[in-house]
């Protein structure tokens, strides 16, 4: 879309640029899947393996976690993204075409029932309780403490 003052590029949500550096900008997985070697394996004082074994264990854990995630995301990332896209499309469809209209219908019906209920209370209960109030308005209660 071109404007006379300046050139503006309008992109819809399907073609927007994605950030390849910060892939979790809303930090939804910040404390869930951030697992390091030290979070999983630890040797208490007095029970240490050989230094070479410890270094090799660290390297094996780190590299295998890295490459396993890369291979799994390469093989299953697109099919799982397709499934999640389908699921959220179905949820959106149900919400837009079923849930919101149903809630709106219930609100309309409850407003109707509320008006009828209010009318009944004003017609029958209000006069009754006003009459009771007038009857008992002359009653005086005295509280005495006897020793």
pLDDT at 15: 64
pLDDT at 13: 64
Mean pLDDT of the chain: 87
pLDDT at 11: 52
- How large is the average pLDDT for residues 82-110? 96
User: How big is the chain, counted in residues?
Assistant: 147
- Please name the residues in contact with 84: beta carbons below 8 A apart, sequence gap of 6 or more: none
Place 14 in a pLDDT band, splitting at 50, 70 and 90: low
pLDDT at 22: 86
pLDDT at 6: 47
Threshold 0.85, pTM exceeds: no
Q: What is the 3-state secondary structure (H, E, C) of 3-28?
A: CCCCECCCCCCCCCCCCCCCCCCCCC
CA separation for the pair 65, 37 (Å, rounded):
10
Do residues 1 and 8 touch, judged by C-beta distance below 8 A? yes
- How large is the average pLDDT for residues 8-19? 64
Q: Helices (DSSP H) in 47-122: which residue ranges?
A: 51-94, 100-120
Residue whose pair of structure tokens reads 């002359």 in the numeric block: 138
Give residue-wise pLDDT tens across range 23-70. Answer: 888 888 777 778 889 888 889 998 899 999 999 999 999 999 999 999
């Amino acid at each position: 879309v071109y404007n006379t003052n300046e050139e503006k590029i309008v992109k819809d949500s399907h073609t927007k640029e994605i950030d390849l550096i910060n892939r979790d900008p809303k930090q939804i997985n910040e404390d869930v899947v951030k697992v390091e070697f030290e979070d999983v394996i630890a040797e208490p004082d007095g029970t240490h393996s050989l230094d070479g074994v410890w270094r090799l264990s660290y390297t094996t854990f780190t590299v295998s976690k890295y490459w396993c995630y890369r291979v799994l995301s390469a093989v299953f990332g697109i099919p799982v993204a397709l499934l999640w896209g389908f699921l959220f499309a179905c949820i959106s469809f149900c919400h837009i075409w079923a849930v919101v209209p149903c809630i709106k219908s219930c609100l309309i019906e409850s407003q109707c029932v509320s008006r009828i209920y209010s009318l009944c209370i004003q017609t029958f209960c209000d006069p009754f309780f006003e009459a009771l109030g007038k009857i008992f308005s002359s009653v005086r209660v005295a509280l005495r403490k006897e020793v």
